[in-house]
Copies of this chain bind each other. A is one copy, B any other.
């Protein structure tokens, strides 16, 4: 049976050593009172216990049993309900929530580590609270004070959950064509009618209430994405004193039978004149929903890292135990019938690919977390603004690059186990099935790529990109940095390709879509190169304190630069091939 243990040492390395987070926290007044290095480590250790002992043990049974739907009610798998109650007692749902309404006010950099643990332990379980945290963020940012005081405290407590209701049967990526309607009522509330699908945690038996954030159209709304409003629609109506009243006209029509995350209920949710309340301004719902969506995008990216870490742990254990064949350079364990398979170059290649991409992803997620903290808590307007621009730029990269690599890593982890990876017993096949959704939901990775290249790079003339590459150049140009020339080459490649695309997109509107997926990957590899160089820099300086740990970092950095970064060559070449070859075929000739 596979075990999952949070990689605490690696997390501390990233937080304390690479990003020196405690120093940042100390200078941000909103964080200084809440967290320091010791609190941070205490929280991480407690989180590691909760995820390893309470949540991970329900991963396989949850997959086998799945969420069930009977006569409109969802039942989560055995053990989920009791584990969920223990979990919320720890205050985890409100970890980075607004303290004004009962949240713990912890920095995102720390929450990012916790999310990784949660997904690594049990992706289905993690989703139930991930949606709540995101919904709280949108409510906190856009709802009225009255709604905030009524809804946020029980949501941060985890007694009530959140959901995100966007997709309809005919409308997924294209939200402009949704049909759910909102009719204004005398009392200022709205009557919501329509059917939403693919609603993660749309129903469950874990919480007393579920607060749906629903996109709908007002009667006089303009067509398309500028006519969408956001509503708060509770499953159970709330009395003025905050206690539960009668049921709202919200029902769960069915749940999906999916490839993975089977313990997470993916629901059809029907609103039949349900009472709801407007969040933010009329017809500006998409922007308000994006507060939640951007949160979820980073979170789902982290699902990729968590699953990859879990897969790595199991593959590493297997590779050290499984005896098969002999090392090419001669027997390593001559007293045994065969050597452990970790002696074989191709097994090492697979494990190192997983390790390099997972640790690179963890550093990148922490960096995005840092920028989120600056955007939220910095007292210097310029710093805050820059951080917000970086978050906008990097969120699609985080979502898509983490999950593409998370999927590839889990597939590699499964491959290390051979036939044993394909059967249920070792957990690898479940990780592949569970992580696969992360490339699809919260905006497919193709949509993330289009967002990155079209909106975040081309639309602002590369301004945010230059802010990012300037940081990379600054690092690489400082004296004595490892991999400086490789890094400068890589960042120049990214800049050149970006300039070229900027020019091409003006001539042919198909170019952005033709290049964007490869462009996002190119961006991701360059960003990871920067982070691996930073990690190597720290490791070089700290070597004496803990030689085994730091030399592993140096070895992994070396592997990344020699065997992963060269992928940028083909990506550049493919991008420069342009869109022409995509449009030679009529739709009918495919």
Show 15 A/B contacts (Cβ-Cβ < 8 Å), sorted by A. A167-B419, A173-B418, A174-B323, A174-B324, A259-B424, A316-B590, A328-B512, A345-B583, A348-B583, A411-B436, A414-B440, A562-B577, A562-B581, A566-B574, A567-B574
Contacts of A585 in B (CB 8 A): 348, 352, 552, 555-556
A338 at the interface (CB under 8 A from B): yes
- Which of A110-118, A134-142, A443-451 is the interface stretch? A443-451
Given contacts A172-B324, A509-B328, are A256 and B423 in contact (CB under 8 A)?
A: yes
The secondary-structure label for the interface of chain A is: helix
A492 at the interface (CB under 8 A from B): no
A563 B583 Cβ-Cβ under 8 A: no
Q: How far is it, in angstroms, between the C-alpha of A376 and the C-alpha of B570 when the chains are bound?
A: 40
A329 B509 Cβ-Cβ under 8 A: yes
A42 at the interface (CB under 8 A from B): no
The residue of chain B having its C-beta at the shortest distance from the C-beta of A579 within the complex is: B345
Q: How far is it, in angstroms, between the C-alpha of A548 and the C-alpha of B590 when the chains are bound?
A: 10
Q: Give A234 Cβ to nearest chain B Cβ, in Å.
A: 25
Contacts of A583 in B (CB 8 A): 345, 348
A422 at the interface (CB under 8 A from B): yes
Binary flags per residue of A341-359, CB closer than 8 Å to B gives 1, else 0: 0111111111110010000
- Which of A98-106, A242-250, A293-301, A513-521 is the interface stretch? A513-521
A510 B323 Cβ-Cβ under 8 A: no
Query: 8 tightest A-B contacts by CB?
Result: A345-B513, A555-B584, A566-B573, A259-B429, A570-B570, A562-B577, A328-B509, A345-B514
Q: Which of B260, B513, B563, B577 contacts A577 (CB 8 A)?
A: B563
Given contacts A349-B517, A422-B437, are A570 and B581 in contact (CB under 8 A)?
A: no
A304 at the interface (CB under 8 A from B): no
A441 at the interface (CB under 8 A from B): yes
Q: B-contacting residues of A (Cβ < 8 Å)?
A: 167, 170-174, 177, 198, 256-260, 266, 316, 319-320, 323-325, 328-329, 337-338, 340, 342-352, 355, 407, 411, 414-415, 418-419, 421-425, 429, 432-433, 436-437, 439-441, 444-446, 449-450, 509-510, 512-514, 516-517, 548-549, 551-552, 554-556, 558-559, 562-563, 566-571, 573-574, 577-590
Q: Give A426 Cβ to nearest chain B Cβ, in Å.
A: 11
Contacts of A172 in B (CB 8 A): 324, 418-419
Given contacts A423-B258, A589-B552, are A174 and B570 in contact (CB under 8 A)?
A: no
Contacts of A419 in B (CB 8 A): 167, 172, 198, 440-441
Q: Which of B344, B422, B425, B569 contacts A436 (CB 8 A)?
A: B422
Contacts of A586 in B (CB 8 A): 548
B320 A548 Cβ-Cβ under 8 A: no
Contacts of A198 in B (CB 8 A): 419
Contacts of A338 in B (CB 8 A): 174, 177
Q: Which of B177, B324, B517, B577 contacts A346 (CB 8 A)?
A: B517
Q: Give A345 Cβ to nearest chain B Cβ, in Å.
A: 3
Contacts of A433 in B (CB 8 A): 259, 433
A320 B587 Cβ-Cβ under 8 A: yes
Contacts of A346 in B (CB 8 A): 446, 449-450, 513-514, 516-517
Q: Give A286 Cβ to nearest chain B Cβ, in Å.
A: 15
Contacts of A170 in B (CB 8 A): 323, 337
Residue with the highest number of chain B CB atoms closer than 10 Å, among A516, A568, A579, A585: A585
Q: Which of B266, B319, B323, B510 contacts A329 (CB 8 A)?
A: B510
B328 A513 Cβ-Cβ under 8 A: yes
Contacts of A551 in B (CB 8 A): 584, 589
Contacts of A343 in B (CB 8 A): 587
Contacts of A432 in B (CB 8 A): 259, 436
Contacts A259-B422, A348-B582, A559-B582 known; list 13 others, CB within 8 Å: A167-B419, A173-B324, A198-B419, A345-B513, A349-B514, A349-B582, A352-B582, A414-B440, A415-B439, A415-B445, A562-B574, A567-B574, A569-B573
Contacts of A424 in B (CB 8 A): 256-259
Q: How far is it, in angstroms, between the C-alpha of A551 and the C-alpha of B328 when the chains are bound?
A: 49
B174 A513 Cβ-Cβ under 8 A: no
The residue of chain B having its C-beta at the shortest distance from the C-beta of A443 within the complex is: B418
Q: How far is it, in angstroms, between the C-alpha of A355 and the C-alpha of B425 when the chains are bound?
A: 35
Contacts of A349 in B (CB 8 A): 514, 517, 582
Q: Give A77 Cβ to nearest chain B Cβ, in Å.
A: 17
Q: How far is it, in angstroms, between the C-alpha of A419 and the C-alpha of B437 when the chains are bound?
A: 8
Q: Which of B345, B418, B573 contacts A444 (CB 8 A)?
A: B418
Q: How far is it, in angstroms, between the C-alpha of A569 and the C-alpha of B576 when the chains are bound?
A: 14
Contacts of A581 in B (CB 8 A): 352, 555, 558-559, 562-563
Contacts of A571 in B (CB 8 A): 570
Q: How far is it, in angstroms, between the C-alpha of A320 and the C-alpha of B316 when the chains are bound?
A: 44
Q: How far is it, in angstroms, between the C-alpha of A570 and the C-alpha of B522 when the chains are bound?
A: 12
Q: How far is it, in angstroms, between the C-alpha of A134 and the C-alpha of B110 when the chains are bound?
A: 56
Q: How far is it, in angstroms, between the C-alpha of A510 and the C-alpha of B171 when the chains are bound?
A: 53
